[in-house]
Amino acid sequence: MKAVVIGEGSGASMEAIMAVYPRHKAVVEAFKGRGEIVGIGPFADRGNMAIFRSREAAEAFVRQDPFVLEGVVKAYTIRDWNDTMLE
């Protein structure tokens, strides 16, 4: 079972988002390096989504993500997801 984090953008300007982005990218790269993240990226409305190999990894990510901690993402949901295409 994988876990999906769906983030709701706060309405922050692109300038504000880009100011936080290097710290966010460092966290993403750490999770990527451990093989815990399957995919991540923004939606057109500046919300975002990330797919993790486990709920534990998803929860750990949101506890560390500067986008969440610094208010770029105003709310998020973690949903368990059964990826039937790869099983």
Count of positions (residues) in the chain: 87
Domain locations in the chain as residue ranges: 2-81
Query: Residue 86's pLDDT is what?
Result: 65
At the second CATH level, the architecture of 2-81 is 2-Layer Sandwich (3.30)
Q: Is the pLDDT of residue 72 over 60?
A: yes
Q: What is the pLDDT of residues 7-53, one digit of tens each?
A: 999 999 999 999 999 999 999 999 999 999 999 999 988 889 999 99
- Sheet containing strand 73-81, strands side by side: 37-42, 48-52, 2-9, 73-81
Pick from 10, 4, 3: nearest CA to 72: 10
